[in-house]
Amino acid sequence: MPEAVAGRRRRRRRLSFNLYLWLGGGLLGLFVLLALFGPAIAPYDTAAQDLFALMQPPSAEHLLGTDNVGRDILSRIIVGTRYTLSIALVATLAAGLGGVALGAVAGYFGGLTDRIVTGFVDLLLTVPNLVLAIAIAAAVGASATGLTVAITASFIPPIARLMRARVIELKEEDFVSAAVTTGMSHTRILLRHVLPNASTVIVIEMSLNAGQAVLVGSALGFLGLGVQPPAPEWGAMLGASREFYAIAPHLVVAPGIAISLLVLAFNLTGDGLRDHFDPGIQR
Amino acid sequence: MDRRQVLTLMAATAVTVSATGVRALAQAGSGTITFGQSTSILTLDPAHGAFTGYPAGYEAALCLYDRLLDFDASMAIVPQLAESYEMAPDLMSCELKLRPGVTFHDGTPCDAAAVKLNIERMMDAERNPTNRPLWDPVAGAETPDERTVVIRLKAPFAQLPNTLAHGSGAIVSPAALEKHGEDGFRQNPVGAGPYKLDSFAAGQTLTLTAFEDYWGGKPGAEAVVFRFIAEPATRISALATGSVDVIDSVPVQLVEQLAANDDIAIIRQPGLRPIGLALNLTRAPLQDLKVRQALNHAVPVETIAERVFFGFAKAPDSPLAFDTVGHAAIGTIPHDPEAARALLAEAGYEPGSDGIMQKDGERLSLTMFAPEGLFPGDIAVAEIVAASLAQIGVEARISKIERGAYWDQLRQNAEGLGWDMAMFGFNPSNGSGLYHLESLFRSNADDTARPDVWNIARYSNPEVDRQLDRANSEPEAADRDAALAEAQQLIWADAPYLWLQINENVTATRKRVAGVEVLPIVFTSLRNAAL
């Protein structure tokens, strides 16, 4: 490949990296700020009700209007960020850890270990992740913890498979064989040589998963399997306002847009990271 | 007493006759009425679980079956298959005279022998495990002649006519029961009502056609179709486009929009089910009457009824709903946070550093169980209650319970109760206030065990028990009502519930359909509808 063309490609890649990652990262940063300082920023107490101002349309007083028991929707969206964001982040990280551990063990040791782990993971994969999450949330009970566990469990399988495949690839590399011949322990080889070389793929997958986790978390909240009322979780807000859609659409629109924006933030970040790290994919 | 009852019956007969007259006038067309129901019909046997699912099955049963007695619009007892009835003065038996010449849809006669077989079937707890408080007092049935049935009771039971008028009092054809068996009958129902079975796809649609030989004359429509449409928005658009003629359970917030349509009529009917929070009287803080009164003063129930339910609800004035037979207005509890705080202070509570009331270092923090979608606006109301209690320094933590598990969570033994307050509402499906009070407020035999019926609060007041016994055995209706009023007064004063609201049932119809009725006991009846 001539030097000039490769240079152009690199520049183009950097440009798209800038755009996606900056947009996604910026948006995500904004949400993180809201999550951290939500109660301080919110104009009203999220539990404060005004039964004489139910389902008010957006106004100067209530920028996004009030909900079906007269609470300020903007404040609830702002404070609700921390539920959705922390559930998505914790679940994504936990699923990442669990998936990496399972995948690494299965891929590295192979044989019976591989068959058992892969069998288990494949079994989990046969159940659609939302259905699996519903089953787990129903068993654990409606709470933020239950929700997190449910999403974590449903996101472990794809990461585990990805990790396993990558580890099987890496196992054949010379530097791993070299490490084996020097008598390095399995744990050490996995941590020092295999994991760092697999991390790119995993990080990209996880950042894309985070967006998915927001959606699954909100869906479970919508179905009433999320946090306990009156906590302002977005999915639950969407679910509670569904029956008022015909007379007060703003009740549904606000949490809907918030969810979309957060998913967009994660997806842009994920795409940006992929463009940056994975030279195999070119735009 | 005899004379009064005969007079009532005569007046009632007159009403029925005029209703039949209206139907005869309205039956010019012979169309098909389609009913979009919010719940699905699964079985159509009064025994073996009684017309599931509720209330769809009961609504179909109202068209398919006749009962010995019936309720009129005000829940008073009127004749149906029995032309007249007479309770013995000791309330230990009841003699019924059957209407002559009535046949079931399969052509077999609906005579005393058939009625006796039905009564015995409903008495049998094995074949009929549901509605036990209604049927347990019955000891047996005798048939002196083919038009007379005498029902014997185990103890004085003034509510027997209510039991016979209740949906589970539907009289089924013994021949059909023989033919299809106890298991097959639920899908192949045969009764003596105005409509007979045409086709039935359980959980989806049920089609009934007019029974030409009905004793009350030809029914108002050629056919009635029951269609299950779960989603309210879908039901409403089906009604608006005319693909169905009647829908039930219209969300109150959508009524205004729907009423603007000139072709659609709204029928609203106050229900018999008062919603409230049962207070767990095994918990120390709630054993204090002052605390219970404070809780009742803290919640703006009038505002909830008016604003959250758009006026399609009312705050209660007694443990019974307004239209329940035997209801006595005791008084309303004003929303008064000041009074509530004063009551808590009298009970020895002081605000702690976090603003929550404390007594001897114990924070007044209560766990509230609420389901999602079992009661109107349940979660919204729970949230309002929690916010209102916070105003008087009581912490209420809402625990949303999955619908399927909810009833079981309420009816635990005392040790297994996870709640301090639990949202509950009882629908006295036989219209009797006595049945309602007995189910919820008669002392349990053992408060540590599962409640006998629905006294989940573990309320116990010997004087209330005494008044309920009186209401069951006084020969004069006026004395029974007085006993019931006395009991309501006592219960209201003891406040074993945080009383909330009584909702209305809202049904909508295309105006071309006449005679659709909504009974206070939830059911939308097409029995007298005409098209």
ipTM of the complex model: 0.84
Please return the burial class of B181, using the count of CB atoms within 10 Å of its CB with bins 0-12, 13-18 and 19+.
exposed
pLDDT at A98: 95
Which carries the bigger pLDDT value, residue B348 or residue B18? B348
* Phi, psi angle pair for A25, to nearest 5°: -65, -40
Widest pairwise Cα distance in chain A: 77
Angstrom distances, CA of residue B228 to CA of A233, B55, B235: 32, 12, 9
Peptide bond into B53 cis (omega under 30): yes
Cα separation, B205 vs B244, whole angstroms = 12
Identify which of B164, B195, B167, B173 has the alpha carbon closest to the alpha carbon of residue B69: B164
The alpha-carbon gap from B383 to the nearest alpha carbon of chain A, in Å, equals 6
Q: What percent of chain B has pLDDT over 70?
A: 95
Report pLDDT digits (tens) over B482-519. 999 999 999 999 999 999 999 999 999 999 999 999 99
Q: Which residues contact A22 (CB under 8 A, 6 or more apart)?
A: A272
| Cis-peptide, bond into residue B55, ω within 30° of zero | yes
Q: How many Å apart are CA A135 and CA A225, to the nearest integer?
A: 10
CB A278 within 8 Å of CB A31? no
Whether residues A51 and B308 touch (CB distance < 8 A) is answered with: yes
State how far the Cα of A95 lies from the Cα of A104, in Å rounded to an integer.
14
Helix (H, G, I), strand (E, B) or coil at B78: strand
Identify the three-state secondary structure at position A35. helix
A48 to chain B: which residues are within 8 Å by CB?
387
pLDDT per position as a tens digit, A100-118: 999 999 999 989 999 999 9
Q: Are B406 and B374 in contact (CB under 8 A)?
A: yes
Which helix (H) or strand (E) segment is B20 a member of? helix B2-26
Residue in B closest to A138 by C-alpha: B402
Size of interface A-B (CB pairs under 8 A): 59
Partnered with residue B264 across adjacent β-strands are B510
Structural element, H or E, at residue B291: helix B289-298
Indicate whether this model's pTM tops 0.90. no
A142 vs B contacts (CB less than 8 Å): 400, 402
Tokens matching residue B164: 């016979």
Selection from A213, A201, A220 nearest residue A154 by Cα: A213
A1 in contact with chain B, both atoms CB, cutoff 8 A: no
d(CA B255, CA A187): 67
User: B497-510 and B313-314: which strand pairing?
Assistant: antiparallel
Q: Is A228 on the interface with B (CB under 8 A)?
A: yes
Mean pLDDT (chain B) is: 91
Considering only CB atoms, which chain B residues are within 8 Å of A228? 397-400
Q: Where are the alpha helices (DSSP H) in B27-71?
A: 56-64
Q: How far apart are CA B470 and CA B434, in angstroms?
A: 10
Its sign, for the CA torsion A168, A174, A177, A182, is negative
Flag if A240 and B379 touch (Cβ within 8 Å).
yes
Please give the Cα distance from B300 to B334 (Å, whole number): 8
- The pLDDT assigned to B327 comes to 95
Q: Which residues of B touch A229 (CB under 8 A)?
A: 379, 382-383, 386, 398, 400
pLDDT at B382 over 90: yes
Q: So what's the pLDDT on residue A12?
A: 56
For domain A2-277, give the fold.
MetI-like fold (1.10.3720)
- The conformation of residue B242, written as its DSSP 8-state character, comes to T
Query: B366 CA to chain A: closest CA distance, Å?
Result: 14
Cβ B430 vs Cβ B163: under 8 Å: yes
Q: Cis omega before residue B137 (within 30°)?
A: no
Residues of chain B whose C-beta is under 8 A from some C-beta in A? 232-233, 251, 253-254, 256-257, 300, 303-304, 307-308, 372, 379-380, 382-384, 386-387, 390, 397-400, 402
The band of B17, judged by pLDDT with boundaries at 50, 70 and 90, is very low
pLDDT score for A15: 53
What lies within 8 Å, CB to CB, of B191 at 6+ separation is B61, B64, B65, B66, B104, B105, B170, B171, B172, B173
> Does residue B506 sit in helix, strand or coil?
strand
Which secondary structure element, helix H or strand E, spans residue B403, and what is its range?
helix B403-410
Most distant CA atoms of chain B, gap in Å: 78
Cβ-in-10-Å burial (0-12, 13-18, 19+) of B288 comes to middle
Beta strand ranges found along chain A (DSSP E):
none
Beta bridge partners of B367: B397
**B357-359 and B350-351 strand pairing:** antiparallel
pLDDT value, residue B318:
97
A243 touches chain B (CB under 8 A): yes
Residue with tokens 């469990």: A153
Residue of A nearest to B232 (CA): A243
Tokens of B138: 């019955």
Q: Is the pLDDT of residue A81 over 80?
A: yes
Q: Provide the token pair at A56.
A: 């008010």
Asked if A27 is an interface residue toward chain B (Cβ–Cβ < 8 A), one would say no
Q: What is the mean pLDDT of residues B103-124?
A: 96
Distance CA A275, CA B11 (A): 85
Question: Nearest residue on chain B to A221, judged by CA atoms?
Answer: B400
pLDDT reading at A213 higher than 50: yes
Backbone torsions φ then ψ of B104, nearest 5 degrees: -80, 170
pLDDT tens digits, residue range A160-171? 999 999 999 998
Cβ pair A51:B386 closer than 8 A: no
Residue A2 has pLDDT above 60, yes or no: no
B206 or A223: whose pLDDT is higher? B206
Find all residues with CB under 8 Å of B38, minimum gap 6, and list them.
B56, B229, B230, B232, B235, B247, B248, B249
Cα distances from B471 to residues A146, B136, B163, B452, B468, in angstroms, run 50, 17, 16, 19, 5
Question: Residue B400: which of A240, A159, A149 has the closest Cα?
Answer: A240
Please state which of the ranges A55-69, A219-233, B385-399 shows the lowest mean pLDDT: A219-233
**Residue A186 pLDDT grade (very low, low, confident, very high; cuts 50, 70, 90):** confident
Q: Which residue has the tokens 């006592």?
A: B490
Whether the CB-CB separation of B458 and B444 falls below 8 Å is answered with yes
| Strand B517-518 relative to strand B421-425, pairing | unpaired
Quick check: A48 contacting B, CB < 8 Å? yes
Alpha-carbon span A167 to A165, nearest angstrom: 5
User: Do B380 and A51 make contact, defined as CB atoms within 8 angstroms?
Assistant: no
Question: Which of B256, B304, B379 has its CB closest to that of A229?
Answer: B379
Are residues A247 and B254, on separate chains, in Cβ contact within 8 Å?
yes
* CA B166, chain centre distance (Å): 10
Contact indicator for B23, B217 with CB cutoff of 8 Å: yes
What would the pLDDT profile of A242-252 be if each residue is shown by its tens digit?
A: 889 888 999 99
Interchain contact, B253 vs A244, CB within 8 Å: yes
Confidence at A4, pLDDT banded by 50, 70, 90: low
Residue type (1 letter), B372: E
> Could you tell me the two tokens for A98?
């669990």
What secondary structure does DSSP assign to A148-194, as a single string?
A: HHHHHHHHHHHHHHHHHHHHHHHHTSHHHHHHHHTT--HHHHIIIII
Query: How far apart are the C-alpha atoms of B249 and B228, rounded to whole Å?
Result: 12
Provide the Cα torsion A97, A102, A107, A113; round to 10°.
160
Is the Cβ–Cβ distance between B501 and B240 less than 8 Å? no
Rounded to a whole number of angstroms, the distance from the CA of B279 to the nearest CA of chain A is: 20
For residue B441, which of B406, B364, B493, B373 has the smallest C-alpha distance?
A: B493
Residue B127 pLDDT more than 50? yes
Q: Please give the average per-residue pLDDT across A114-135, as a whole number.
A: 86
**Domains in chain B, ordered, with CATH?**
3-249+511-525 (3.40.190.10), 271-503 (3.10.105.10)
Percent of chain A past pLDDT 70, that is, above it, reads 91
Closest CA to B378 of B400, B409, B396, B395: B400
Task: Give the bridge partners for A66, in sequence order.
Answer: A72
Task: Provide the sign of the torsion angle of the four alpha carbons B520, B526, B529, B531, taken in this order.
Answer: positive
Angle between helices B174-184 and B112-123 (to 10 degrees): 20
Contacts of B372 in chain A (CB under 8 A): 224
- Determine the Cα–Cα distance for residues A64 and A72; give it in Å rounded to an integer: 7
What is d(CA A168, CA B299) in angstroms, rounded to the nearest whole number? Answer: 64
Per the CB < 8 A criterion, the answer to whether A159 and A103 are in contact is yes
Predicted pLDDT of residue A183: 87
Q: Are strands B313-314 and B32-37 parallel, antiparallel or unpaired?
A: unpaired
